[in-house]
Amino acid sequence: MTGANKQFIFKAIFTLNNDGQIINAIEYDNETKTVWKKKKYAYNGNQLTQTTYSNSQGASDDYKYNWKNGNMISSSLGDKLTYYTDKSIMPGDAFTLSIFMDDEGIANVRALRAVKNKNLLASINNVEYSYTFDTKGRITTIKTTLANKPGATYQITYGCN
């Protein structure tokens, strides 16, 4: 990726398996490729079970993910997730929205859609999510609550009806 004046920002390379799932990602943070970050992804069918992180400074970490009834319910980082079992996953859900809000924990796999849950996210750790829908059943609002206190409200609009 280059900036407006064509300066180098980073280069990312992704490898997919035969099912279209990401299995390797590497990001180079300089043109000489001496500063890098790597992630490897392991699956059990359609469910992400582990990511392994390493970088050019020698750091490395393994993260494991647990699933129940088609939904990721926890990670080895301590993340705990719950779902609305009466609502199927759909575009604009809080799980996808949170890609843009942090890059630690389970967020590191959401951006690549490595996690494919069955149902709408109800909570991650102490953050609860509630949704409103339009007449077509699409998500139009996501409200967050943290420790029973109102948090952010996100409005989702659709360009094509």
The sign of the CA dihedral 90, 92, 96, 98 is negative
Q: Which of the listed CATH numbers 1.10.3980.10, 2.40.160.190, 2.130.10.10, 2.60.40.10 matches domain 11-155?
A: 2.40.160.190
Q: Distance between alpha carbon 109 and the CA centroid of its chain, in Å?
A: 4
Q: How far apart are CA 14 and CA 47, in angstroms?
A: 18
H or E element, residue 67: strand 60-68
Beta-carbon contacts of 48 under 8 Å, excluding residues fewer than 6 positions away, are: 41, 42, 65, 72, 109, 114, 115
pLDDT tens string, the chain, 161 residues long: the values are 555 677 777 788 888 889 888 899 888 888 888 888 998 999 999 888 998 999 999 999 999 999 999 999 999 988 899 999 999 988 777 776 654 444 444 444 444 566 788 999 999 888 899 999 999 999 999 998 988 888 888 888 887 65
- Contact between 94 and 141 under an 8 Å Cβ cutoff? The reply is no
